[in-house]
Amino acid sequence: MELQDKLIAAMEELNEDNVLEDVRAMIGAGHSYNSIQMSLNSGVSRVGKRYESGEYFIADLIVSGMIYRNALNLLMPLNGGRQNLPVGRVVIGVVEGDIHDIGKDIIVSLLRAERFEVIDLGVDVKPERFVYAIRTYKPDVLLMSGVLTTAIKSMQKTIELLRKENLRQRVPILIGGLCTSGFHKDMLGVDGWAYDSTATVDFCKKVVGSKYGTAK
């Protein structure tokens, strides 16, 4: 089996020891930073598919993100200590009044695996913090998450403030989490609603691809 295939399989199987061993082997064999990272990304994508099929669970996605970060640490010297330029920038946060962050953390890991720069605002994020983040970081996408039904009201407050500050038109917004639906997307007047992690990542890739001409 080729080294790339071994690394992809090890990442898919969440075997951290083998992942790190295979990364070291690829470095020793002269593979480039990009080549190794692409194999890691392929493995993470397979983990996501197994999650969507019900074979893996949330804990497995979290583990995959941890393994991915540890593998990237091995690659830093190969890349001169610098990460590749990100494909795009995303701001994400769990809205005010909600502290359920497992889904958010999964999205953060998957987006970073796809080479997005992610500004994670954390949980219980007030509308003013979202406004500050958009002004400061000028993201390509804003992701708002919530689990509690009261999160819809917080999302509405945030969007109203963005409109008041003339920032709404600057950034596409996607909402996600157990409390959201296609109905809420239309009600809030946002650009997207994600029912799972794959849909969220696909939305971000589509927005950035359209904006920068990098759609795959």
Distance CA 10, CA 141 (A): 31
96 CB neighbour count, 10 Å cutoff: 21
Q: How would DSSP label each residue in 84-147? A: PPPSEEEEEEEBTT----HHHHHHHHHHHHTTEEEEE--SSB-HHHHHHHHHHH--SEEEEE--
Options 3.50.30.60, 3.40.50.280, 3.40.640.10, 3.40.50.12500; CATH for 88-212 is: 3.40.50.280
Question: Residue 84 — very low, low, confident or very high, per pLDDT cuts 50/70/90?
Answer: low
* Ranges of each domain in the chain: 3-79, 88-212
Distance CA 132, CA 178 (A): 26
**pTM assigned to the model:** 0.67
pLDDT of residue 66: 82
Distance CA 182, CA 197 (A): 15
The pLDDT tens digits of the residues spanning 96-148 come to: 999 988 788 878 878 887 889 899 999 999 999 999 999 999 999 999 999 99
pLDDT of residue 109: 78
Options 1.10.1240.10, 1.20.1250.20, 3.40.50.300, 1.10.3720.10; CATH for 3-79 is: 1.10.1240.10
CA atoms within 13 A on the CB side of 94: 23
Tokens of 210: 């359209």
Distance CA 216, CA 210 (A): 10
pLDDT of residue 97: 95
pLDDT of residue 49: 79
Model confidence at 193: pLDDT above 90: yes
Model confidence at 210: pLDDT above 90: no
The pLDDT tens digits of the residues spanning 22-40 come to: 999 999 999 988 788 888 8
